[in-house]
Structure 1
Amino acid sequence: MSTMNRPYFHESLSQIIVKKDRAEISNWTESMELINEELQSLILLEKQVLGSPQWNQQLVAVQRENQFRLGALYRYERTMTKAIKCDTTECDAYYLNTHEKNRDGYMDHVCKKRA
């Protein structure tokens, strides 16, 4: 691959991928933090207006799941420093598969909340 085709020709391909993955994780966590803030507002609004235990339980369950997923993403983000140090195909494949699993988990979570 020519260095002219790479946006950061002074970095290795694995460094570029890790940067891309970190940016993606940052977007996911930011999105989930916003969802969490919206859920907090909805829970407060539900208590003040509806006072329905059923709605409250559903909103709290969604918030709990969101916090669980957010925590998993933060834990995953901390492991990304090890991905830079990969020097084997097996190591790269592990981090690629882990990233894809986290992406799928995030997308499933967000799609469920939209429905």
Structure 2
Amino acid sequence: MNSIGNKIYNHDTDLDITHKINSMELTNWINHLQYIKKELSNFISICSKELNSKIESPVVIQRFKKKQKENDTLLNALLQYNGARAKIIECEDTECDMVYISEHESYRRSYIYHLDKYRRLKDEFFNSIKGKFTLLKMT
């Protein structure tokens, strides 16, 4: 592969295009995990303060903190992987390219699994607080 840039050109090979698309996808995953990191921090803060008396906060907080560690672990792994992808330009044969593609598929499965588990945790949280609050009318 000649370049790892993300712009796709007519003269790019199928492998070049695959690597570029994978790089764009990886950037999206990293951005999403960084957002989830902020969101988890907010959930933990809300459960620790505002919702403390309305929910089983020690259990909820513990589950959010566990997910926060898992998110950080995956985010750090993807950041390291992103740095290692710079060596794709050194690939001179298809076998080398396939190693990167296989590794990307493995990270894709990890990301999707993590996202699914996180969404389930959020759904459980919102279901657990549903109906426990009343809205104040502003006049």
TM-score by length of 2: 0.72
Q: Aligned letter for 1:109?
A: H
Code of the aligned partner of 1:17:
T
2:101 maps to which residue? 96
Query: Does the 8 Å CA contact 1:25/1:73 hold for their aligned counterparts?
Result: yes
Instruction: Kindly report the root-mean-square deviation, in angstroms, between the aligned alpha carbons of the 2 structures.
Output: 1.5
- Unaligned stretches of 5+ residues in structure 2: 1-7, 121-139
- CA distance in 2 between counterparts of 1:91 and 1:22 reads 16
Amino acid at match of 1:16: I
* SS at 1:23 equivalent: helix
1:40 corresponding residue in structure 2 = 41
- Aligned residue pairs total 109
- The equivalent of 1:19 in structure 2 is 20
Per-residue displacement from partner, 1:60-107 (whole Å, max 9, x unpaired)? Answer: 000000010001110110111111221122211111100000001000
Counterpart selection for 2:88 from 72, 83, 99: 83
Equivalent residue number for residue 109 of structure 1: 114
Name segments (4+ residues, structure 1) moved above 6 Å.
none
3-state SS, counterpart of residue 21 of structure 2: helix
Q: CA deviation at 1:9?
A: 2.1
Report whether the alignment pairs 1:64 with 2:69: yes
Identify the structure with the greater helix proportion.
1
User: What do residues 40-72 of structure 1 show as CA deviations (whole Å, max 9, x unaligned)?
Assistant: 000000110233222211110000000100011
User: How far apart, in 2, do the equivalents of 1:101 and 1:84 lie?
Assistant: 20
